[in-house]
Amino acid sequence: MAEAALPGARLERRDALLGLALIAPTVLVLGAVIVYPLLSAIYLSLFSLYTPTLEGHWVGLANYRAVFGSGGFWSALATTAVWTVGTLTLQVLFGLAMALLLHQNILFRSLARSLVLFPYFLSTVVAVLVWRWLFNDLYGVVNHALMAAGIIDAPVSWLGTMPNAMLSIIVVGAWKFFPFVVIAILARLQTIPEALYEAARIDGAGPVSRFFDITLPQLRDVLTIVILLRTVWDFKEFDLIYLMTGGGPVNGTRTLPLIVYQQAFGLNQMGLAAAHAVAMMLVMLVFMLAYLRRAGGRVA
Amino acid sequence: MTNRQRPALIASLVTWPLVLLIAFPLLWMLLTSVKPQAELFTTPPDFLPNAITFEHYRRVLEETAFLQYFRNSLVVAVSTTLLVVVVAVLGAYSLVRFAYRGRELLASLVLFTYLLPSVVLISPLYLMLVKLGLANTLASLVAAYTSFALPYALWLLRSFMAGIPEDLEAAAMVDGASRMGAFVDVVLPQALPGIISTALFSFILAWNEYLYALVLVNSDEARPLTTGVMTMLISAFNIEWSLLMAASVMMSVPLIVIFAFFQKYLTSGFGAGGVKG
């Protein structure tokens, strides 16, 4: 087939106009639902805007002074950091362990994998309803199980007191999102050449040193990507926390996304909310850029 | 082989209890939904129901707006998926195969939006949709859901299409096919697994979305399941857990179907979607 050898470069340079026509719908839609809202979020943050009437006036950087000058933003930032670090650590450790186990030749492996992956695809609303029932003060299974095991003497309020509420959302977040880590690592594990392990065995390496000398270095790249991605996603998580605790008790679990929502639609300060959102994005930008550098390197 | 079977057995004994622990909340949801109300409040709770009842399912279907919410969710998720897949298939093909200025920038922008928090976009989107007179409509949800589903779909399809050899198109064009002819006859069939995977992800993302629905819709006519079911929780004087669990089970049925029949498309989508290191 001499035709098959036709250089792809010629194909690529031809009809650039067609290329533009094909990308046009994407550009239009992304412009309308992302670029325009993003720019107007920054613009809105310079206004004082009352949500119900949408009337407001220019205040310049006053909103930002309010954001950075009040304690609310900083304590929400700290809360977000606790939530992100807590749930991410559990997700990664448990996800890694589970991926290693599911990589073994266990009984009914595909069923086990399906059961483990399912929470990730489940609606957060469903996950929250189920867990709120499990955490129920009087009739929840969690309290019954812990009492039966002798760990607690009386029912504990899991969502109504601190630090229990934070602990609860961290656990539920880990349960919901660790399958993401499992899938990513499992896929990578399957591509590690068996020959590496054979060689290590011949050299007398035990399972522990095989893990640290072969598996972990091989997983380094995928772990970096997964951790960056999940850091960003956990940081901006709204649904799970809002539905589990609503940010309470008091403001114990009020993370940055919740403060933005609360300002915009609870306190009706849309301009101030936008300033909070932009400030939150600035904090996230470090992780976003790190991810873009890692994953975006493949764009070219 | 016995050398290998023993570790496998030990691994099974370690793994399965953990798997069951992970699956327990969902099993508990199912069991709660078929227990008679009185059985929920026994101390300690019985694991298996003494009697099975479908009364809660009947009540959710007949006494609440569940079916309306379900229909809304279905319309929104299917519309979002169709819109996103059509736009993203063309866009991804353009990003992969054509050279023009700004292409790299656009690809980076797509990746960036993939990380963007919804709460940043929510106020401006709300203002925009109110101005357009679309507040409280299913169309407003489709527009909002496109903001996260389209970047995801573009990113996924882009990497699927990058894996299709260009030679196939070149050969088709030498045989007389036009550029778009080659796209339809050669690229689309090759990209089909990727398209299915993208469609499933878009559908699931739209089906599960909560925040935009919370802000953009406040009437039952346009309310999807996510906010609808939470409304049932809030409006009830006593929280009726068996009703909520029955609603949760029914709300998860499309996901269970997708999961049971198309799981390999979901896992292949993961490999393609930005996770690939």
pLDDT in tens, B173-209: 888 888 888 888 888 998 999 999 999 999 999 999 9
pLDDT of residue B159: 86
Instruction: Check A125 against B251: CB less than 8 A apart.
Output: yes
Handedness of CA B172, B175, B179, B185 (dihedral sign): negative
Domain(s) labelled CATH 1.10.3720.10 in chain B stretch across 64-275
Half-sphere exposure of A122 (CA within 13 A, CB side): 31
Answer whether A123 touches B (CB < 8 Å).
yes
Tokens in use for B178?
Answer: 């036009």
Chain B residue with the nearest C-alpha to that of A181:
B275
Residue A113 covered by a domain: yes
Lowest mean pLDDT among A267-271, B86-90, B96-100: B96-100
Half-sphere exposure of A93 (CA within 13 A, CB side): 7
Question: How many angstroms separate the CA atoms of A7 and B167, rounded?
Answer: 8
Q: Does domain B64-275 have CATH number 1.10.3720.10?
A: yes
SS3 A48: strand
User: What's the pLDDT band for B38 if we cut at 50, 70, 90?
Assistant: confident
Q: What range does the domain containing A217 cover? A: 71-258+271-296
Question: How many angstroms separate the CA atoms of A277 and A40, rounded?
Answer: 12
Residue A286, pLDDT above cutoff 70: yes
Chain B residues closer than 8 Å to A19 by CB: 94, 97-100
H-state helical runs in chain B: 2-34, 55-63, 66-97, 103-113, 118-131, 138-162, 166-174, 179-182, 188-208, 211-216, 225-235, 241-270
Chain B residues closer than 8 Å to A33 by CB: 121, 125, 143-144, 146-147, 150
User: What's the pLDDT band for A1 if we cut at 50, 70, 90?
Assistant: very low
Question: How many angstroms separate the CA atoms of B245 and B240, rounded?
Answer: 9
Residue A76 covered by a domain: yes
Chain A residues closer than 8 Å to B210 by CB: 123-125, 238-239, 243
Distance from CA of B237 to the nearest CA of A (A): 16
What is the widest separation between alpha-carbon atoms in chain B? 76
pLDDT in tens, A96-152: 999 999 998 888 988 999 999 999 999 999 999 999 999 988 888 998 899 889 898
pLDDT of residue A274: 93
Question: How many angstroms separate the CA atoms of B83 and B81, rounded?
Answer: 6
ipTM: 0.90
pLDDT in tens, A39-98: 999 999 998 888 787 788 888 898 999 989 988 899 999 999 999 999 999 999 999 999
Q: Which of these, B232, B29, B188, lies nearest to A122 by C-alpha position?
A: B29
Residue A50 covered by a domain: no
Residue A47 covered by a domain: no
Tell me phi and psi for residue A20, to 5 degrees.
Answer: -65, -40
Question: How many angstroms separate the CA atoms of A112 and A102, rounded?
Answer: 8
Distance from CA of B263 to the nearest CA of A (A): 8
Residue B57, pLDDT above cutoff 80: yes
Tokens in use for A211?
Answer: 């893990």
For A54: left if phi > 0, alpha if psi spans -120 to 50, otherwise beta; the answer is: left
Tokens 């309290």 correspond to: A143
Query: Residue A177: enclosing H or E segment and its boundaries?
Result: helix A164-189
pLDDT in tens, A154-178: 888 999 898 999 999 999 999 999 9
Residue A65 covered by a domain: no
Measured CA angle at B25 (ends B225, A141), to 5 deg: 115
Instruction: Check A144 against B44: CB less than 8 A apart.
Output: yes
pLDDT in tens, A29-41: 999 999 999 999 9
CB atoms inside a 10 Å sphere around CB A259: 29
pLDDT of residue B272: 62
DSSP letter (8 states) at residue B46: P
Out of A20, A112, A225, the one facing B15 most closely (by C-beta) is A112
CB contact residues (below 8 A), chain B span 49-78, against chain A: none
Whether the CB-CB separation of B94 and A22 falls below 8 Å is answered with: yes
Domain count, chain A: 1
Residue A177 covered by a domain: yes
Distance from CA of B184 to the nearest CA of A (A): 13
User: What's the pLDDT band for A296 if we cut at 50, 70, 90?
Assistant: low
Q: What is the 3-state secondary structure (H, E, C) of chain A?
A: CCHHHCCHHHHHHCCHHHHHHHHHHHHHHHHHHHHHHHHHHHHHCCEEEECCCCEEEECCCHHHHHHHHCHHHHHHHHHHHHHHHHHHHHHHHHHHHHHHHHHCCCCCHHHHHHHHHHHHHCCHHHHHHHHHHHCCCCCCHHHHHHHHCCCCCCCCCCCCCCCHHHHHHHHHHHHHHHHHHHHHHHHHHCCCCHHHHHHHHHCCCCHHHHHHHHHHHHHHHHHHHHHHHHHHHHHCCCHHHHHHCCCCCCCCCCCHHHHHHHHHHHCCEHHHHHHHHHHHHHHHHHHHHHHHHHHHCCCC
Chain A residues closer than 8 Å to B250 by CB: none
Report the residue count for chain A: 300
Chain A residue with the nearest C-alpha to that of B131:
A54
CB contact residues (below 8 A), chain A span 69-88, against chain B: none
Residue A179 covered by a domain: yes
Residue A28: partners with Cβ closer than 8 Å, 6 or more residues away: none
Instruction: Check A11 against B180: CB less than 8 A apart.
Output: no
Out of B123, B263, B277, the one facing A274 most closely (by C-beta) is B123
Out of A6, A14, A25, the one facing B174 most closely (by C-beta) is A6
pLDDT in tens, A207-247: 888 888 888 999 998 899 899 989 999 999 999 999 999 99
Answer whether A53 touches B (CB < 8 Å).
no
Question: How many angstroms separate the CA atoms of A78 and B164, rounded?
Answer: 46
pLDDT in tens, B257-275: 998 888 888 887 776 655 5
SS3 A72: helix
Whether the CB-CB separation of B33 and A129 falls below 8 Å is answered with: no
Burial profile B206-232: b = 16 or more Cβ within 10 angstroms, e = fewer: bbbbbbbbbbbbeeeebbbbbbbbbbb
Chain A residue with the nearest C-alpha to that of B146:
A33
Q: Which of these, B81, B241, B48, lies nearest to A132 by C-alpha position?
A: B241
CATH number of the domain enclosing A77: 1.10.3720.10
Partners of residue A58 on adjacent β-strands: A47
SS3 A204: coil
DSSP letter (8 states) at residue B31: H
Whether the CB-CB separation of B219 and B136 falls below 8 Å is answered with: yes
Residue A240: partners with Cβ closer than 8 Å, 6 or more residues away: A124, A127, A128, A169, A172, A173, A176
Instruction: Check A239 against B211: CB less than 8 A apart.
Output: yes
Question: How many angstroms separate the CA atoms of A114 and B255, rounded?
Answer: 12
Answer whether A273 touches B (CB < 8 Å).
yes
% of chain A beyond a pLDDT of 90: 53
Size of interface A-B (CB pairs under 8 A): 319
Report the residue count for chain B: 277
Mean pLDDT score of chain A: 88
Residue A188, pLDDT above cutoff 50: yes
Residue A34 covered by a domain: no
